[in-house]
Amino acid sequence: MNAPFPYAGEACALLSSLLWASAFLVFARLPHPVPAGAINLGKNATATLCFALLFLVLFGVPWPGGVGGEALVLFAISGFVGLTLCDTLLFGSMLLIGPQRTTLLMTVAVPLTTLGSLLPPWSESAPSALGIVGIVTCLLGVTLAVTEKPADRVAAQALKRGVLFGLLAAVGQAAGVLLARLAFRAHGAETVLDAGKGAAVRLLVGSLGLVVLALATRRTGAWVRALAQPKVLPRLMGAAVVGTFLGIWANQAGLTWAEHTGVATTLNQLTPVWLIPLTTLVLGERHGRRSWIATLIAVAGVILIGVA
């Protein structure tokens, strides 16, 4: 698909990371305590509703047509893994160690996806020497960030749990991406709209999976009460529209229109870089030299993976 203007893909990819960083700030600063699962349910359900309204306007029906069979099953599994499980762990990590460190941990998903794609049924070509350097560099940056000594024992316990949740979320995101790749291959997706159809299926299943999870763990009432607190749901929904719904479109437009996929992928991964100044300005967090260095090293690794 031809880009509407020069560097449109790169601009959209950069916008995607900024949108997600902005949304993450809102999720991290809700006016009342909200469990990770409830945040995730509100986010997924809002984005699902946005897609349903979009398809209703475009096609007259709220469900994306032309997705069936193998692709539908793979999108559904990807949605459960990536949006039910992964994003709940992601928000759990965020509540413990903050948005900047959590999103930095999520960069681990990039080398995990690269390594996972070597296995059947993906069987993609092995990364070049530059790509291997990128994987090692990314992991080095993340290691530098998470090994910083906390101020006290409580902070140390929170850090351990937050890092564990963040790393598990990165594994889940990598698995979700790999499953989505198989689904797109089966679906024959070629356009931004095709990608939107796949995202809608994933979000719907991700939302339904959270409902089942809430019922199974008997947390339905607690989640509903948390979301019903004053000013919580409007802010959460606004962040979901910006970060999830618009962020998905910006992400896919970047991948579709960019001249080099690696460049678009890299720009899509700049969320932790955006969050250093944003969390300082909005949340009043202090980031030392080590945080900057660790983030830049990890992102440099992602860049090397992307351009290899």
pLDDT in tens, the chain (308 residues): 577 888 888 899 899 999 999 999 999 999 999 999 999 999 999 999 999 999 999 989 998 877 778 889 999 999 999 999 999 999 999 999 999 999 999 999 989 998 999 999 999 888 889 999 999 999 999 999 888 777 667 688 899 999 999 999 999 999 998 998 888 888 776 667 778 888 999 999 999 999 999 999 999 999 999 999 999 999 999 999 999 999 999 988 887 787 776 677 778 888 999 998 998 888 888 888 888 899 999 999 988 887 77
Structural domain tally of the chain? 1
Angle at 1 between CA 206 and CA 51, to 5 degrees: 25
Cβ pair 90, 168 in contact under 8 A: no
Boundaries of domain holding 193: 8-126+152-270
In a domain, 290, yes or no: no
In a domain, 281, yes or no: no
Query: What is d(CA 107, CA 170) in angstroms, rounded to the nearest whole number?
Result: 7
In a domain, 285, yes or no: no
| Amino acid at position 296, single letter | L
In the chain, how long is the greatest CA-to-CA distance? 57
In a domain, 166, yes or no: yes
Token readout for 172 is 């889940």
Look at the block and give the residue holding tokens 């993906």.
122
Output the CA–CA distances (angstroms, integers) from residue 289 to 88, 92, 148, 160, in the order listed: 30, 26, 11, 22
Rounded to the nearest 10 degrees, what angle do helices 8-28 and 87-97 cross at? 60
In a domain, 145, yes or no: no
DSSP character for 150?
A: P
Is it true that the peptide bond before 150 is cis, omega within 30 degrees of 0? Answer: no
Using CB atoms within 10 Å of the CB of residue 130, give its burial: 0 to 12 exposed, 13 to 18 middle, 19+ buried. exposed
Q: Dihedral, CA atoms, 119, 121, 127, 133, nearest 10 degrees?
A: -50
Is it true that the peptide bond before 121 is cis, omega within 30 degrees of 0? Answer: yes
In a domain, 298, yes or no: no
CB count in 10 Å sphere of residue 180: 25
In a domain, 41, yes or no: yes
In a domain, 191, yes or no: yes
